[in-house]
Chains A and B, each alone.
Chain A
């Protein structure tokens, strides 16, 4: 399979060509009308969010909200951190950064089926057969990405796997999925004459217009928008943001020098470039129905520990942590009760997420569960509240309303409210 990253074709060069030869071709400029010559140096104080997705549903009771002394407590002990809370003994490096991070311990989210939970946690809405809600990354892309005129690459990137649909916000805000090495297939024109590409696009535009007008729904228009994005991307120097290998060994070491660490490093480079939302898929499943403790302490937690702590330290050193919100969660937590296979099953009633940066309060444990982890004994939070908190950090106004294709107004984060303990 051929994979390639674009090289050699600078965008200024391309635009010049279009201005000269391409101007005579049909509609080419129309297709490329939103391109502006040469990107300015991007400042690194633009707001961004990195979501680290723990696919399968992580046993947060063994990570962020331990229950020593309970029959549900499991094998791990809590340790003290630099923040005002304790976390698992197998996350010692993160413990050193906990002054910058907080844990929301009272998520109660109802959906404990993988598909439904993934949907709910990404969109703040429960699945509804009549409408597809946008994942929050698409919302950030829609609200922030479109305003960043210098951003030439997609404004919502998902590294190492899927994320969710952009729903009614349309294909232009769909996650741009790249593999964990940041390789993007077919992104190079293979050295084609720039003028020729312009001519091809001109003709394509002619053909498209006929189909768009033919009353066959919006597929034609969506297609056209995505082609615009593709051209932007193919001709942009900003594509180097995907190349984590360009960082020094020292920096990569900070992230643990693992494939997961490299994806987080890539996320930081994307934030520097101006991408407002990056989702990183944790490599490996957290769906630990069996043998939960060994899998956690030998595999999942060490990887997570070095990666997340490295990200926080790196962002801090570069002065970017104030502007970059980090969220670490999966589709649900896992049962406090330990099952017959020394595993934990799906549990959405009372679980935790890690959140920090972006000017949010660090070092706090927000919300509380009972001694066995079975119930919430404080105020409880929904995904909408988490995303409203992130919206606050990203400066997306909370009264933002999007309209579904059917004309129905949809509140930002399903009308959730920022968590006061985090923004206060």
Chain B
């Protein structure tokens, strides 16, 4: 199936699932599914994916415990089976169940009772499953589009699935490469991507130019564009392995530690300053971890089990920020950030197709945080002599387990005890519940923790993750490259969660060297349109607010040292950021951003202080230095400005057009009696303004 057919087919399926399909479209869909095996498989996958749409069947469940009958014969699904593997194995079971979800979902008014027997029979003809169905269930009713699916095949597949699952113990050492060798890991990445390219009949774009690549790697690793000096050093280096050299030196630099600490501080506690925590202490802690290349597993363990005050214990700020509201945000955010799983939905609802992904899962996870409290006390500040309020993260000492209390879908009060991945946990004198949770999260050769970190970093460098949403790797989601995530995660664990090595692998891969320009052979690889990414080229990534701010400082001539030290420009940045972020009005500690390329950001670029300063020939140090270099010609001045802003040389047409505009402007100014030098400098300031305001400046590509 080529990409166009696939897309058309998916559109048909989606319309059907949303109940917007016409009869003729359903007939086409049906004939496609029946005639093409690939379509049939795809249909099952999509329907299974859509099963999650009913996940949030808010409220219906409250009245009708059995509103969604799940076949009981499912010993296959156990928590010990890793998600990706059984993702495929149980696809058929899930799709039958999900189909039911669709039936329920298409129906609009649950109060209308109608006879649904025929539909149920048509869709779920297997005796084992229909046994568990109550045909009188008043949620399954008329109004449903008649669907004729190939019933017998489903049964056939279904029965093969009931075979015992192959032993998974053998998976321990299945890595097809030696994780100790960076070369082999990189070759593995290359092979995996290549085989998907072949499969989809696409070709990768050519290798990026040195200037495209050097800007990219600086933005990704240091969170800012390169300075003119750094650019020159790299572009003039004739060493064939200069990309590796630069990569390694950037990974060792303090700028890298500082940038990654900033990225992770934002992920962990958000950007808004409304929360009563010490963001700076958390940042400093993370900078130390990334700077000393501490294993990621240790960092996560610290963040989850930290105790102490906001000021003295950097990692404690993570939970200090989220322990409100019965630790519901802490539970949801811990799972979302570290495991890329959205378990908050299961807080109130059960997953339609995954029995062990229910309300109890959420509250059992939540129970790990139930013994932790935030204590406030007044402490005398020795320096100022003033009494200050200090917030501390403290665990209660009693060894009795305090469960999480919650109301189940029928309003019955229930309790949940701390339990993760099938292991029940008791508090011990020497280790708190949170200590033990941390140990459970990092145990094993392929924990979700490693997969999640791989997925996040892949997105950091390529602009798209292996899943459509980076932080939703739940069982209902498709992976673009399942075996690549798996292999990389295992290699990452084998390296003892070595963050720099993981990044090194990613940045040395062939795909990371490609240009962002598309070619005819990969034009339809457009993950922005909702397709799974193939990584045939570097996707264009909008700059984060921090990247944009820091890059504007570089463009204005502020030293890299000053940016890294977070001196006065840092305070300025923190304040500047607040205009783009507001906390959400709910108890889940979310944030809304207007930093999305819309008007507020545009107005900031056009009229804001940062660009104003950089493009003012009396204030912008870079501009000043370039235009006052008398050795160089006007053309060279334009070239240098383009380099300083976009890390590249201007194209001939661009150069030509700008030179003409410049002449006009200088003439116009001097005709108004402006001194020639001033006219020259101002006109160049306008050229720089235009470069900084270009879309090319606002993206990493």
Contacts and interface: CB of A to CB of B under 8 A. Distances in A.
B111 A377 contact: yes
B603 A230 contact: yes
A285 B586 CA distance: 6
A1 interface: yes
Nearest to B572: A1
Given A185-B579, A211-B695, A380-B109, A349 B58 contact: yes
A56 B586 contact: yes
Contacts, number: 261
B325 A216 contact: no
B585 A2 contact: no
A204 interface: yes
Most chain B beta carbons < 10 A, residue from A175, A230, A346:
A230
A207 B607 contact: no
Interface string A145-173: 00000000010000001100100000100
Given A285-B587, A414-B18, A348 B58 contact: yes
A295 interface: no
Q: Which of B523, B596, B604, B606 has the most CB of A within 10 A?
A: B606
B612 A206 contact: no
B59 A350 contact: yes
Interface stretch (A38-46, A113-121, A318-326): A113-121
Contacts of B15: 408
A108 B665 contact: no
B654 A206 contact: yes
Nearest to A168: B529
Contacts of B604: 185-186
Q: Chain A CB within 10 Å — which of B20, B58, B325, B477 has the most?
A: B58
A196 B466 CA distance: 46
B133 interface: no
A207 B20 CA distance: 43
Contact of B607 (A190, A196, A379): A190
Given A189-B607, A375-B111, A405-B528, A206 B594 contact: no
A215 interface: yes
B197 to A, nearest CB: 18
Contacts of A177: 594, 598, 600
B436 interface: no
Interface stretch (B261-269, B298-306, B342-350, B490-498): B342-350
Given A162-B592, A199-B665, A219-B540, A110 B657 contact: no
Interface in B497-536: 516-519, 523, 526, 528-531
Contact of B58 (A112, A204, A227): A112
B598 A226 contact: yes
A411 to B, nearest CB: 6
B209 to A, nearest CB: 12
B598 A21 contact: no
Nearest to A197: B606
A220 B18 CA distance: 33
A113 B56 contact: yes
B151 interface: no
Contacts of B686: 196, 199-200, 203
A210 B654 contact: yes
Contacts of A407: 7, 11
B11 A408 contact: yes
Given A25-B664, A216-B518, A415-B20, A287 B585 contact: yes
Contacts of A186: 600, 603-604, 606-608
A130 interface: yes
B444 interface: no
B215 interface: no
Interface residues of A, number: 101
Given A154-B599, A380-B108, A129 B468 contact: yes
A43 B372 CA distance: 60
Nearest to B518: A215
A110 B57 contact: yes
Interface in B226-276: none
B658 interface: yes
Given A226-B597, A377-B111, A405 B58 contact: no
Contacts of A131: 529-530
A207 B654 contact: yes
B287 interface: no
B585 A210 contact: no
Interface string A325-353: 00000001001010110000111111000
B111 A223 contact: no
B642 to A, nearest CB: 9
Contacts of B608: 185-186
Given A211-B696, A215-B518, A217-B540, A114 B348 contact: no
B407 interface: yes
A224 B381 CA distance: 53
B643 to A, nearest CB: 14
Interface residues of B, number: 94
Nearest to B526: A217
B466 to A, nearest CB: 13
A162 B582 contact: yes
Nearest to A206: B657
B561 interface: no
Given A112-B56, A116-B56, A210-B653, A161 B701 contact: no
B205 to A, nearest CB: 9
A188 B606 CA distance: 9
B586 A287 contact: yes
Contacts of B582: 161-162
A153 to B, nearest CB: 10
Interface string B30-61: 00000000000000000001000110111110
A128 interface: yes
A284 B526 CA distance: 40
A190 B596 CA distance: 24
A174 to B, nearest CB: 4
Interface in B582-626: 582, 584-588, 590, 592, 594, 596-600, 602-604, 606-609, 612
B598 A171 contact: yes
A414 B14 CA distance: 13
B582 to A, nearest CB: 5
B606 A349 contact: no
A135 B332 CA distance: 26
Interface string B681-701: 000001101110111101101
Contacts of B691: 207
A317 interface: no
Interface string A360-384: 0000000000000011110110100
A177 B600 CA distance: 8
B576 interface: yes
A113 to B, nearest CB: 5
A223 B597 contact: yes
Given A219-B540, A349-B60, A230 B109 contact: no
A53 to B, nearest CB: 9
A335 B348 CA distance: 12
Closest 8 CB pairs of A and B: A112-B58, A130-B530, A349-B59, A55-B585, A162-B592, A223-B695, A203-B690, A348-B58
Interface of A: 1-2, 21, 24-26, 55-57, 108-117, 125-126, 128-131, 154, 161-162, 165, 171, 174-177, 184-190, 195-196, 199-200, 202-204, 206-208, 210-211, 214-217, 219-220, 222-224, 226-227, 229-230, 233-234, 281-282, 284-287, 289, 332, 335, 337, 339-340, 345-350, 374-377, 379-380, 382, 404-408, 411, 414-415
Given A185-B604, A207-B658, A223-B695, 8 more contacts: A26-B657, A128-B530, A129-B477, A211-B696, A219-B695, A340-B405, A340-B413, A374-B63
Interface of B: 7, 10-11, 14-15, 18, 20, 49, 53-54, 56-60, 62-63, 108-111, 325, 344-345, 348-349, 405, 407, 411, 413, 468-469, 472, 477, 516-519, 523, 526, 528-531, 540, 542, 575-576, 578-579, 582, 584-588, 590, 592, 594, 596-600, 602-604, 606-609, 612, 651, 653-654, 657-658, 660-661, 664-665, 668, 686-687, 689-691, 693-696, 698-699, 701
